[in-house]
Amino acid sequence: MSNNPVQFNEDNRCLARTRKGKSAFCQARKVTGKKRCRMHGGTNDGAPKGNKNAFKHGRYSREVIEKRKSVMKFKREFMELLRIIKNKDKEKPDLSLV
């Protein structure tokens, strides 16, 4: 065992918020290598990957979130293309975006 006590500063405080307010953090020391103290899940690895215990509809599942992002990206690109086509007569289109 080391004789050097662990430095207790802002860097090794738990990042869990308290009911005192948004900027009020837990005062306990975080578990080494984690962001939370032992009372706020620092020693807990969480549910195993692929766990479906609380699965309801899948709206927030990784696959659906990624699909939603790609659809929104496609929509943004399509709307930009539409804007370019609509403004074709007014100004010269910037085809580098397409």
For residue 33, is it left (φ>0), alpha (ψ between -120 and 50) or beta? left
Comparing CB distances to Zn ion, the nearer of 35 and 75 is 35
Binding site for Zn ion (CB under 5 A): 14, 16, 26, 28, 37, 40
6/2 Cα distance (integer angstroms): 9
CB of 15 to Zn ion, least distance (A): 8
CB of 26 to Zn ion, least distance (A): 3
Comparing CB distances to Zn ion, the nearer of 26 and 84 is 26
- Give the distance from CA 14 to its chain's centroid: 18
